[in-house]
Amino acid sequence: MPNASPEPQANLGLDCRECGVCCRGRPGTVLVEARDQELWERHRRLDLVERLAPGHFSLPALPTRSDGQCLYQGTPEHPHDCSIYGLRPQACRDFTAGSAACLAARRAGRRD
């Protein structure tokens, strides 16, 4: 669906897989929708469904480590990359690089 606001298409040349700031310190806030779970089931990743954590609004969320970092952040090649990038939830896809929320997160994470 076309978006009326230009902001969600912002990118500013930022590479999320090199940054990962918004994948940290957000326990219970990255909510997982039914369509995300259906995608995981189609890809036979029931482990992702089984590891869901309680999130805000009594909805399921991505699991986090004790410091709030997403359990799926970090690959053998890069500590900030997403290890389930192709299967990441819609909430992660919607957090647009270069948006106001992104830039605020990067400032808070000292990556501005």
Q: Per CB under 6 A, which region of 1-9, 21-29, 32-40, 42-50 contacts ligand SF4?
A: 21-29
Query: What is the contact mask toward ligand SF4 in residues 50 to 89, using x (rule: CB under 6 A)?
Result: ------------x-------x-xx--------x-x---x-
Cβ atoms of residues 64 and 27 within 8 Å: yes
The string of DSSP codes covering 30-49 is SB--HHHHHHHHHTT-HHHH
Distance CA 74, CA 68 (A): 14
Cβ atoms of residues 80 and 70 within 8 Å: no
The one among 29, 58, 105, 110 contacting ligand SF4 by CB under 6 A? 105
Structure token digits, residue 10 = 């912002």
Which residues are at the interface with ligand SF4 (CB under 6 A)? 14, 16, 19-23, 30, 62, 70, 72-73, 82, 84, 88, 92, 95, 97, 102, 105-106
